[in-house]
Amino acid sequence: MNIHKHTRLTLLDCQEIWRFYQTRLWKVAQLAKRFQVSLPMIYDVLKRARLQEFTPRDSTNQRFKTLPPNAQPLHY
């Protein structure tokens, strides 16, 4: 599993955030303060957790995956 070296939250942190949020005892602002990240980051983690996406994301650029393998570069 490859995780970027500047990752603020590990996969275990994301699962823990989801577990705390599910208890309804923790508010988003409290979670952000406890894990030292921004509110939008917590909302992003919760959005992915609702989809059960606890795996590292692939940083492959989707635009260039659609090019055929024998595509020639454009010459201007």
**Do the domain assignments include residue 66?**
no
**Do the domain assignments include residue 28?**
yes
pLDDT recorded at residue 6: 59
pLDDT recorded at residue 9: 86
pLDDT recorded at residue 58: 67
Summarised one tens digit per residue, pLDDT across range 7-46 is 788 888 999 999 999 999 999 999 999 999 999 999 999 9
Tell me which residue range forms the domain holding 23.
11-54
pLDDT recorded at residue 10: 84
- Structural domain count, the chain: 1
Q: 39-50 and 11-22 are packed helices; what angle lies between their axes, rounded to 10 degrees?
A: 80
Cα–Cα distance, 33 to 47 (Å, whole number):
18
